[in-house]
C-alpha cells in the first residue's frame, strides 16, 4: 500500500541553525501538508500546499518557515533559524484530488521527523 515517507527520522540541531525536513508524499496525491506535535500535545496544522503554492497556513507558520516542492516527488519544510520551542515531531501528510476539482479529505500521514533543538 502506498505511504508517505519522511527523512530523517530524527534531527538534532543547534539553536539558530537551519534545518530541512523531507517528505515523499503518496505519488498520485496533489495536496500536501505539514503538521507538528509538541511532545504530549495534540497535532497542529502548519501549512497546506497545492499547485506549487501555499494554499493555507497557520499562525505558527511564520517567516522562519518555508515549504518547497523541488521536484516531482519531494516536499520539504525548511526552518531558517531554529529555536528551542521548535522541538517537536513534524508530520507530512498528503491527500488525493483532481486538479481544480473535488478532492477527498482523507489525509495520510508519514511517520514523522523528531526535531530536537539544543
Name the CA radius of gyration of the chain, rounded: 14
Nearer to other proteins, 56 or 68 (CB): 56
Q: Which of 89, 76, 63 is nearest to 32 (CA)?
A: 76
Give the interface segment with other proteins, choosing from 14-22, 65-73, 76-84, 108-116 (CB under 8 A). 108-116
Q: Which of 84, 62, 66 is nearest to 21 (CA)?
A: 66
List the x/- string, 75-94, binding to other proteins by CB under 8 A.
----------------x---
DSSP state of 84: G
The residues binding other proteins (CB under 8 A) are 4, 6, 31, 33, 35, 41-45, 48, 50, 55-56, 58, 91, 104-112, 114
Amino acid at each position: 500500500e502506498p505511504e508517505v515517507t519522511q527523512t530523517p527520522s530524527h534531527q538534532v540541531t543547534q539553536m539558530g541553525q537551519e534545518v530541512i525536513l523531507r517528505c515523499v508524499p503518496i505519488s498520485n496525491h496533489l495536496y500536501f501538508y505539514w503538521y507538528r506535535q509538541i511532545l504530549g500535545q495534540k497535532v497542529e496544522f502548519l501549512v497546506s500546499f497545492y499547485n506549487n503554492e501555499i494554499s493555507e497556513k497557520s499562525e505558527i507558520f511564520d517567516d522562519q518557515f518555508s515549504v518547497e516542492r523541488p521536484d516531482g516527488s519531494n516536499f520539504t519544510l525548511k526552518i531558517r533559524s531554529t529555536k528551542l520551542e521548535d522541538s517537536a515531531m513534524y508530520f507530512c501528510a498528503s491527500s488525493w484530488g483532481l486538479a481544480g476539482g473535488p478532492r477527498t479529505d482523507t489525509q495520510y500521514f508519514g511517520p514523522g521527523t523528531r526535531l530536537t533543538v539544543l
